[in-house]
Amino acid sequence: MTDRWGDTTTGSDESVTAWDHAWEEFLHFHDDPIVTLSHANERDESFVLGPVLCSLYNILAGSPLDSPPVQVDRARAQARATTDRDRAHAKALGHAATGNFTTAATVWADLAAEGDFAAYRFAHDTYLHVGDADRRLETSKRSRQNWIDQPGENFIDGMHSFALEESGHYNEAVVYGRTALDADPRDLWARHALAHVYEHTNDTDASIALLRDTSEIWATQDGLAMHIWWHLALRLLAVGAATDVLEIFDEQLPNATTAFRLCDATSLLWRSELAGHDVGDRWDAIADRWDNITARHSCGFLDLHAALAYIRRPEHPGAARWFNGLALRPDGNTEIDGTFRDVARPLIDGLRANAAGDAHALNRTLAQLDGATARLGGSIAQRDIITLTATPCTGAAS
């Protein structure tokens, strides 16, 4: 069958319909595409791409690589692959499920160059997971010509905007981001790309117009809305509107139900304190939330933020469990193992030493890492929290 992007997709009519509907949910950040695909994944022995998507995004959300959802969907994808396209997707998933994300993204990038929409998005998000802006932009430039005047072009423009922004091409990023948003005002990834541009160019007025003045459009897009509130809060923090920032924190904390949403809440409190503002007892709730998160020691970006919470609340019962778990994380030979060994652990040790009174510990660590913190994943704006912590901050924390 042919899916909404014009790609030939194996599976029953019902499965491909579910696949198309899942993309509508995924790209507009509402409902749960993994739930939407679950029935087809279980029932349709010919359906490969559903298990690929579900397994990949469980992994990128921080699920342990050996967790049942990851392994079940990985096995389904591999067992069902019969076409060249399906086999390539299953192969890429196999690499991701063993912690070798760059290898996985490279396979998806090659598929994207052939006009595979799903592969384009999978490569885009996997390169974000490992902080590789150069390969993401290279993939985008090489592949986006396949979608000129084709279904999905506006979403490709939004992804291309983010790829350009993360590589410092701000003017060009605005052009593609605005084009995507004009085509679909609910394209939240395009809006997100523009928010990053305005963050890095310190353009608070443009950010307010993009985000606060349009919240009626995106505030219900639950899959990314909390992160967009985080972007708005950064601009408000930059102009000293601490009361507004903490109001956003308090309003959004109930929505911090996943590890990545909790990262936004953690980051906001940490940055508020760096800017000299009193956050009261809010760290207690954040530490409680991290103690209930099962996604731990599987993603350097998530671990960085959990560590910040426990650095602020070292007496919390979960702190010792969490830090012991990090210390006991098995070493291996995969890409993610190397990221923890070479970057995450040394960085977290430096942050802890810094908080314990060694004022130069983090700076020494960053000098030794020599730019390797990008390997933790996430965006440049998100990772700015590291350098802000190492550098005395007297005003804007963005």
Mean pLDDT across the chain: 96
Q: Is the pLDDT of residue 117 over 80?
A: yes
Contact 350, 362 (CB under 8 A): yes
Burial 327-346 (b: 16+ CB within 10 A, else e): eebeeeebbbebbbeebbbb
Question: For 245-257, how does the pLDDT look when each residue is reduced to its tens digit (9 = 90+)?
Answer: 999 999 999 999 9
Cα gap 101→124, rounded to integer Å = 11
Contact 47, 37 (CB under 8 A): no
The pLDDT of residue 129 is above 90: yes
**Torsion 93-91-166-27 (CA) sign:** negative
Q: 5: which 2 tokens?
A: 């992007």
pLDDT band (50, 70, 90) for residue 392: low
| pLDDT digits 0-9 by tens, 312-334 | 999 999 999 999 999 999 999 99
Q: Name the token pair of 20.
A: 């198309």
What secondary structure letter does DSSP report for 2? Answer: B
Query: Which residues are CB-contacts of 182 (< 8 A; sequence separation ≥ 6)?
Result: none
Contact by Cβ (8 Å): 148, 121: no
pLDDT digits (tens, 9 = 90+) for 273-313: 999 999 999 999 999 999 999 999 999 999 999 999 999 99
Single-letter amino acid code for the residue at 263: C
**In terms of C-beta density within 10 A (0-12 exposed, 13-18 middle, 19 or more buried), how is residue 23 classed?**
buried
Contact 335, 127 (CB under 8 A): no
pLDDT for 398 equals: 32
- For residue range 92-114, list pLDDT tens digits in order: 999 999 999 999 999 999 999 99
pLDDT at 391: 72
At 88 the pLDDT is: 98
Taking alpha carbons only, the member of 292, 344, 346, 350 closest to residue 316 is 292
SS3 content of the chain, % helix, strand, coil (to 5): 70, 0, 30
Could you tell me how many helices (H) and strands (E) the chain has, helices first?
Answer: 23, 0
State the pLDDT at residue 396.
36
Quick one: pLDDT at residue 134? 98
Distance CA 277, CA 42 (A): 50
Q: How far apart are the first and last CA of the chain?
A: 47
Reply yes or no on whether the pLDDT at 397 is more than 50: no
Neighbours of 5 (CB within 10 A): 21
**Rounded to an integer, what distance in angstroms lies between the CA atom of residue 79 and that of residue 90?**
9
